[in-house]
Every structure is written in C-alpha cells, then in structure tokens.
Structure 1
Amino acid sequence: MGSGLNFLDLILEASLLVQLVMLGLVAMSVMSWTIIFQRKKAISDALINAKKFEQKFWSGIDLSKLYNEISSRSGQSQGIEALFTSGFKEFARHKKNTFQSASIVMEGTHRSMRVALSREIEKMESSLSFLATVGSISPYIGLFGTVWGIMNAFIALGEVKQATLQMVAPGIAEALIATAMGLFAAIPAVIAYNRFSNSVEKLESHYINFMEEFANILHRQAATQIEAQANVSA
C-alpha cells in the first residue's frame, strides 16, 4: 500500500511538463488498447463470417439465390460477402449484353471485386497506423519527460550547499516513471500492430484465393452461356 502511495506521490510532485508527458502517454495507451480490442473483434468477425459464407457458397447453392439472400439483408454486405455481391452484380450486368465475350465480362467482374477487396482491407487496416505511431514515438516521449525531470532534479540539487542521495532520488525516480509509462504504451502497441498486420495479410490472401475461385466459376458460366447462344444463332 505504501509503495502505491509513494508512486502516486512521485507523479503528483513531478513538474508540470513531466505530468503533461505522463498524461499524454496514458491517453495514448488508453486509445491504443481501445483500438486493439476493436481490431481484434473486427478481424475475428471477418474470419468467422468468411468461414460461414464459404460453407454456404460451396454447398452447391444457386449463386443467384445466394446473391438475393445477401442483398435482401438490411445494411451493406461486408467482408467476403462484399466481394461476392460486387462480383456477381457486375457479372450479371455484363452478362445481359449477349454481344460481349467471356473475357470482357470477366474483366469488369474482376475489376469490381478488386475495388471491393481494396475497400474491405482498408477497413481491416483502420487505425493500425495509430498503433504503429504509438509504438514508435511513445518511448521517445517518455525519454523526453525523463530527461526534463532529471535536468530539473540536478538544477534543484545545485541550489543547495550539501547534496545528498535522499534529495536527488525522488526527482530522478519521478522522471524515470515517464520512461516506464512510455514503454508501457509502446510495447502492447507494437505487438498488436505486428500481429494485426499479419492477420490482415492472411485475410487478404484468403479473400484473393476466393476471388480467383469465384472468377473461375463465373468464367465457366459466361463461356457456357455464350456457346449456347452461338449454337442457337447457328
């Protein structure tokens, strides 16, 4: 209990600038943890939804029925469903033009899915740059508070005739707290940034694989339809 009070006393007795540095680091740490929990939930939800969707997609369900089912829901489709709806909508639009070749139909479909992919990955990467920034600058901000606190401690030490360790120790201790708080803010942010970046890369790779498989299915459908129309015309 005493050590806790001493720790609090050191913070309260620190200079105004050092206190502002500590306050800023606490704010950055709180924001980092908020983002960490938000990104963890968003990425976890995206993986779960992708697994559920792919189970239904590969179950043999009619793609038009699946598209209508997703489109009828309230709100905009997200994640892998957004790739599917964007691609299928564009495919259906181009397919109505019977004079277009399968390659032209698929070019528009691919382009639509790539735009959707970029949009979804951008959502997943939202706020990750803040974690990287916190991880990069927090130790230096803490170090600045430490240097400033130690400088003030030695200035105060120079104003007395007889200096003792008991006189300088509190000033140095309160200054070092700033460095500790900087590391406390930086370490979780760096770990979370690296982990989430890796998760987003894996998710993006998963989405791209689905896009290619889905595009192959649509290409076969387009080629079959064009061939059937050619036979009818002949």
Structure 2
Amino acid sequence: MEPQVGAAASAIAAADFSFWTLFTRADFIVKSVIIMLIAASIYSWALIFEKYKVFKKIFKSSEEFEEEFLNSKSVKTLFEKTSSDTDDPMTVVFRSGANYLMQNKSHSQAVLTEKVKRVMDVAIDKEVEKYENKLTFLATVGSVAPFVGLFGTVWGIMNSFQSIAISRNTSLAIVAPGIAEALFATALGLLAAIPAVVAYNKFTSSSRKFTQKLENFTQTFLSII
C-alpha cells in the first residue's frame, strides 16, 4: 500500500500545475468558462478604474461650481460664464434651470418655481444615467461569476470521474489534474466576482451621495430665485 501511495505522490509532484498548463489541459467547456471569467474580470477592472476617475472628477468639479454659484452676483451672470459643453453634472443642472427661468419670467412665481424644479429634476435624471452607466455590469459579474466558475468546477470533476471509470484506476495521479482544472475555474469565478461586488457597492454609494448633492443644489437654487 505504501509503495502505491508513494508512487501516486511522486506522479502528482512531477505533474505541471501552472495556470497555463491547467488551461491548455482543460476541455472545451472548461476553457470557455475560464476565458469568459478572465474577460469579465479584465472588463470589470477597466470599468472600476473608469468609474473611480468619473466620480472623483464630478465631486471635485461640483464643489468648485457650487462655490462659484454661491459667490456669483446673479443667475444670468453665472449662466453666461458657464459653457453648454460642460461635463460637470451640477453645471448642467444649473444651466437647464437658469435657461428656463430666463426664458419664462412672465409666469407667476409659484408656477415658475414648480416648472423650473421639474426641468432641473429631468436634468438630474439624465445626469444620473450617465454616471451610473454600466454599473449593472459589475452587479451582474458579482452575482453570476461564482456560479459560472462553479459550473466549470462541476464539469471538470465530472471529467475526472470519467477518467477514473475509463482507466479503472483510482490513483490520485489520475484524479488530481482534473480536480485542479475544476478548482481553477472556481478560483477565477471568485477572482472576478469579489472586486466587482466591492466596486459596485462603493460606486452605488457614491452615486447616491452625488444625486443627493444635486437635489440639494436644486433646492438651494429654487430658494434663491
């Protein structure tokens, strides 16, 4: 018994369990799962860096504009200083409200305030869609990737059992490579899912804070006019 165990251990030790070898040795289904998870992970990280830059930029630009707004002499003066090509959400919301206000001064105060609020709310919704764009992809990767990896694991273990049945050999040297491929798929699933979930929660929180910031600015604007 001991010589058999020693031989199996030696065979396993001699086997190559590098990531590339695990990939090339896997069958078509497991390879497809691995490629899918790696692609999802790469795109998730690209999206994470992009959204990090976007939220950092809009928080900074909105703070600068808010300070400029509070120090401005009039709505018209600030409107003329801002550009229609701006990518700052708060500036866009301000310009939508200020533009409507200056074009419809003949309305009564109550009606004008209500309509300006509606115009600015629509502008907020459009801006929210922009900076929340593709966040659902992170949520999808976070929830689906572990199950995709698990599918690859189950498939790999099934292949290992088939190898045992065909060779009629229960040696670890026969089972180990297939199990290693299977667990590799699980690891990739978690590797893709964990950063995606963390990033989605972080950016969702940032989005809520910034949306609240825009709504507070709208209230300040309406109270001033």
With normalisation by structure 2, the TM-score equals 0.90
List runs of 5+ in structure 1 lacking aligned partners.
Answer: 219-234
State whether structure 2 residue 95 is matched by structure 1 residue 88.
Answer: no
- Alignment RMSD, CA only? 1.7
Deviation digits for residues 21-42 of structure 1 (CA, Å, limit 9, x no counterpart)? 0000011111111111111111
Deviation at 1:166, TM superposition (A): 1.3
From 50, 70, 81, the equivalent of 2:62 is 50
One-letter identity of the residue aligned with 2:57: D
Q: Which deviates further from its counterpart, 189-198 or 161-170?
A: 161-170
Deviation at 1:78, TM superposition (A): 3.3
Deviation at 1:162, TM superposition (A): 2.9
Is 2:62–2:88's contact at 8 Å kept on the other side of the alignment? no
Local SS of the residue matching 1:41? helix
Deviation digits for residues 74-102 of structure 1 (CA, Å, limit 9, x no counterpart)? x245310011000001111110x2xx210
From 20, 31, 41, the equivalent of 1:19 is 31
Deviation at 1:5, TM superposition (A): 6.5
Local SS of the residue matching 2:82? helix
Q: Distance in 2 between matches of 1:183 and 1:107?
A: 49
Q: Distance in 2 between matches of 1:80 and 1:172?
A: 54
Aligned equivalent of 1:33: 45
Q: Distance in 1 between matches of 2:131 and 2:176?
A: 47
Local SS of the residue matching 1:159? helix
Local SS of the residue matching 1:61? coil
Q: Relative to 1, partners in 2 of residues 1:122 and 1:3: Cα closer, same or farther, differing over 3 Å?
A: farther
Number of residue equivalences: 212
Deviation at 1:167, TM superposition (A): 1.1
From 134, 151, 172, the equivalent of 2:158 is 151
One-letter identity of the residue aligned with 1:65: T
Deviation at 1:141, TM superposition (A): 0.3
Aligned equivalent of 1:160: 167
One-letter identity of the residue aligned with 1:55: E
Is 1:150–1:172's contact at 8 Å kept on the other side of the alignment? yes
Local SS of the residue matching 1:58? helix
Q: Relative to 1, partners in 2 of residues 1:197 and 1:4: Cα closer, same or farther, differing over 3 Å?
A: farther
Q: Relative to 1, partners in 2 of residues 1:77 and 1:167: Cα closer, same or farther, differing over 3 Å?
A: closer
From 171, 192, 198, the equivalent of 1:185 is 192
State whether structure 2 residue 210 is matched by structure 1 residue 200.
Answer: no
Q: Relative to 1, partners in 2 of residues 1:28 and 1:4: Cα closer, same or farther, differing over 3 Å?
A: farther
Q: Distance in 1 between matches of 2:203 and 2:121?
A: 22
Moved over 3 A (4+): 2-5
Q: Distance in 1 between matches of 2:141 and 2:195?
A: 9
